[in-house]
Structure 1
Amino acid sequence: MGRHFFKLQCKPGSEQEYVERHQAVFPDLLDAFKRVGIRSYSIFMQGNGLYAYMEADDYDYAMAELDKDPANERWQAYMKDIMLPFEGGTSLVQPVDNEVFFFDNK
């Protein structure tokens, strides 16, 4: 199982709307997360910066499957108006791949 961290950003002034929309995530999207092997997914907010942590059985597989999932397509369309791409591109997601420390006492 892999752990992944990535950054996103919502448009300034849309922070409360972002929070409210995530209080009612589509149930079929949550089902899709389970179906593609996502074990855990958290999003933290500071200002309009969003910091997401995901654990998935196979991250590349999960993302490829979600890209073609109708529930995810609907969610992305629903969120698009309040999201901001990163400077110099159109991507809404900026992966952070350089983990420098991990502790697990399981």
Structure 2
Amino acid sequence: MNRDQEPKGFSGAGLTGGLFGGALVLTAVYIVLLVGHDPVSQGGAGLGPSLLPLVLYLLVASALTWNEGSRSFGVGLLISVGLWLLFGGGICIAGLSRAPSNAAACASPTGGIA
């Protein structure tokens, strides 16, 4: 097998670019579309359009992964989704654990009303 016929390996620059680029895009989508949006007040009907950019992101990242020339960048984009969910979920759980509990208000006979 010639050197010209060997398959390409992962590019470290492409993987790093996908990781950081994906994290920036996902954070921007979250800030712009999901923070100011309240699907509960709309009966859940408004959640679909907010998730459309995330679905498109996953489709583009998957398509880039299947293409041999951009495989490392696509893999970086897909890994950044997992890392984004991991860190975002950790921040959310940390915020919820620091929130004051309403257990004392629920246990009182007056329901917390003074």
When the two structures are superposed, what TM-score results if normalisation uses the length of structure 1?
Answer: 0.30
Higher relative contact order by CA 8 Å / sep ≥ 6: 1 or 2? Answer: 1
Structure with max Cα Rg? 2
- Structure (1 or 2) with the greater helix fraction: 2
When the two structures are superposed, what TM-score results if normalisation uses the length of structure 2?
Answer: 0.29
- Structure (1 or 2) with the greater strand fraction: 1
